[in-house]
Amino acid sequence: MFKGSIVALVTPMAADGAIDEAAFKGLLDWHMESGTAGVVIAGTTGESATLGEAEFVRLLELAVAHTAGSMTVLAGTGSPSTSETIKRTALAASLGADAALVVTPSYNRPSQRGLLAHYRAVADAAELPVVLYNVPARTAVDLKPETSLTLAAHPNIVAIKEAVADEQRVAALVEGGLAVISGDDPSCCERMLAGAQGVISVAANVIPAEYARLCELALSGQAEQARALDARWVELYAFLGVEANPVPVKWLLWKLDRIGPGIRLPLVTLDQRWHKRGEVLAHALEGPVALN
């Protein structure tokens, strides 16, 4: 269920911020055609912080119905509130999601004991598998490997999306028996070669077939070929980090004519100083790409 290229899907929007359902379905079609293994709906890249509950419901309904079992559907259900996370996770289960991706609570910065209590409460109430999500650069709290491994004893906690690009940390999680999904595009190839079983990727939004192939190579141990393919995307990785995610990736998808220009406040569209660099990338991505 959690193997290979899983896209952290953007939420397409019109210039006024309204969700563009036609573009959303178009992205899902593109990923199904490209071999993407799974999709995260309403995650960080999908602007979860500014989606209302009715929008969360609609996006998840569309994704479940449109993919019809051809891709794993993970719902981003985490919030700073344990009770709200439990409610959103129950809602995701009722809508047919395959799993809940639960980010560590942001802003209130719980201790490791607090994180244990939080995730156990969510997992106890959940009617679907729970994937831990650690991204301290955004949440200001770090789910330590020893805490993650303790949580892995819970039958509903099945994997972790680890966005800390640390070789020793991922090795400890893998050796401890927890299924690891990389949450960091620039290091995901090496993490998969070292035992991670996939990636939840921002870059896969714009190069879905290439990322599916990268995962296939890495997971089958074809290190030289995987590294060669990964090396092609160094500039893309750098561009996707010039401003807060998903600002650069949405701008690039707009330039590729996959979505409209919309993004919601407090995020604003990509600063003009990055446009020339992005246009060069977009032009390169529009051409044919050899996958072997």
Which residues belong to the active site? 133, 161
Distance CA 237, CA 220 (A): 23
CA-closest candidate to residue 24, choices 279, 274, 264, 260: 260
Distance CA 53, CA 75 (A): 12
Distance CA 46, CA 101 (A): 13
Kindly state the tokens that stand for 222.
């074809």
